[in-house]
Each structure stands twice: as C-alpha cells, then as structure tokens.
Amino acid sequence: MLAPGLAALGHEVIGADLPGQGAEVGIDCTDPVAVDALVADRHPDAVIHLAGISDESSLPAALQSHVVTTGALLEAMVRHGVPRIVYASSNHAVGRTPRAEQVGVDVEGRPDTFYGVGKVASEALLRLYVDRHGIDAVSTRIGSFRSRPNSRRQLSTWLSHQDAIRMFHAALTTPSPGNAVLYGISNNTRAWWDLEAGRALGYHPEDDAERFAAEIEAVEETEKDRAEAAHVGGSFATPEIERPAFD
C-alpha cells in the first residue's frame, strides 16, 4: 500500500522484506551484514523502517525484531551517508499512559508490552544516532492502521491508508527535523493524541473515523471496549496480553 502511494508522489521506492515475501529485495533486517550490503548497493536518500513483529512476543524476540533491526539500519546509514530514517514506532511506546484529553509527544516512554519496550528502545537508539551522527530521524507513533476503524477505540486511534501515505511523505520531505516524534493517526474527531507535532512536520491528515461512528456505536458496548478505554494502548494494556518475558 505504502510503496505505490509514495511512488505516486514522486518517490522511487525499493521494497525490502524477508526472503519469500514478494518484495523487490529479500533480506533479513536483523542481519547487519546483509543490511549493510543492501544500503551500500542501492544507496537510498532515506530509509523507512516498517520491519518487525507487529504484535506482542517474548522480550528477546521483541528486542531482536525492533531494536536490532533499527541498529543494523542506522549503522549502515551512517557508514554510507544516508541522512534520514522514518521509523514505524507505535502508540504502544506510551501505551500504559492513562487516557487523558490530549497526549502530547513529550509524555514519558511508558510501554504496555515487550512490543512497546522494543519501540521505546528503538526511539532511544534513533535519538543516540541523531546526537552522535547528525542524521534526521522521525518516529511515527502509529495508532491503528486499517482500511477502516472497527471498534470504539479505533474511532480515536485510526490511521487511514491515505493518511499513512501523507504521513510518510511528510516525514521524508520535511526540512531538517532532527529527532522528531509524531502521532500517526487520522484527523479523528475523537483523537486523544496531539496532532500538532505532526502538523509542524507537514503532516495534515484528511480522514476522520467519525464517519464510521454511527455504525460502530450501533453495536452494544462490550466489556472489552470498556477495558480498552482505560489506557492509550487499549487491549495491549490489559492483563489478557501479559506473558512471561522468556519462552
């Protein structure tokens, strides 16, 4: 979805994924040697890092999947002079934050899962490389990336496909962001994450989950809906997802 969307805005996109997944380049981003060879060979202007387990896992798997991949990409970028990375972080980096009117990008890292820990640690790694090497890094704390919202929580957290394209385009093209963080949600009437940081970077979302509200609210509110409403991270901040750190 993202690759053709960015191509339509004039970007030349090289897609990379695990071998056998149908991407132009088959690569395991946890392998720093392979990542280095790819960056040296194709020398992109920027990296968009979407690789990683998108759900909860063991602690070692989360660290490998989120932090080691980010480290491999950053090392290769610095070695080969690639100046910018846009990172798919997540709302789960701050998922244990109680729901408030507006959650800004400056709230403390407060993960709700090992997945969230991986995102906080990756954001910290980006910060280190910005400070050490002067690269630009934009962490997009993505909400619920879906073709449409499917729950009460997602009336607040939805990120539409078209807004995701707008968001990554802005993060790639905004002048000199340094180390920046934004919330990756659409222009939702019920948003509780502050969109100002994104707007300052040129991200102007156009979709609003509200047009699905009547349909979603026609179904009776469940216990799960109520539990999801307590914290930013929704179900990731409930006891059902808790698991031991090690398999």
Summarize as ranges the residues that interact with ligand 15L (CB under 6 A). 54-55, 90-92, 142-144, 157, 234
- In whole angstroms, how close is the CB of 35 to ligand 15L at the nearest point? 22
- In whole angstroms, how close is the CB of 39 to ligand 15L at the nearest point? 25
| Closer by beta carbon to ligand 15L, 71 or else 184 | 184
Q: What share of the chain is helix, strand, coil (3-state, %, to 5)?
A: 45, 15, 40
SS3 at position 85: strand
| Closer by beta carbon to ligand 15L, 166 or else 231 | 231
The DSSP H or E segment spanning 141 is strand 136-142
List helix spans (H) across 96-177. 114-133, 154-157, 161-173
SS3 at position 87: strand
87 is catalytic: no
Distance CA 178, CA 130 (A): 7
| Closer by beta carbon to ligand 15L, 54 or else 189 | 54
- In whole angstroms, how close is the CB of 232 to ligand 15L at the nearest point? 9
- In whole angstroms, how close is the CB of 142 to ligand 15L at the nearest point? 6
| Closer by beta carbon to ligand 15L, 112 or else 136 | 112
- In whole angstroms, how close is the CB of 144 to ligand 15L at the nearest point? 3
SS3 at position 49: strand
Distance CA 92, CA 123 (A): 12
| Residue written as token pair 């400056």 | 106
What is the β-pairing status of strands 46-49 and 84-90?
Answer: parallel
SS3 at position 15: coil
Options 115, 129, 183, 203, the catalytic residue: 115
| Closer by beta carbon to ligand 15L, 177 or else 234 | 234
Catalytic residue annotation: 115
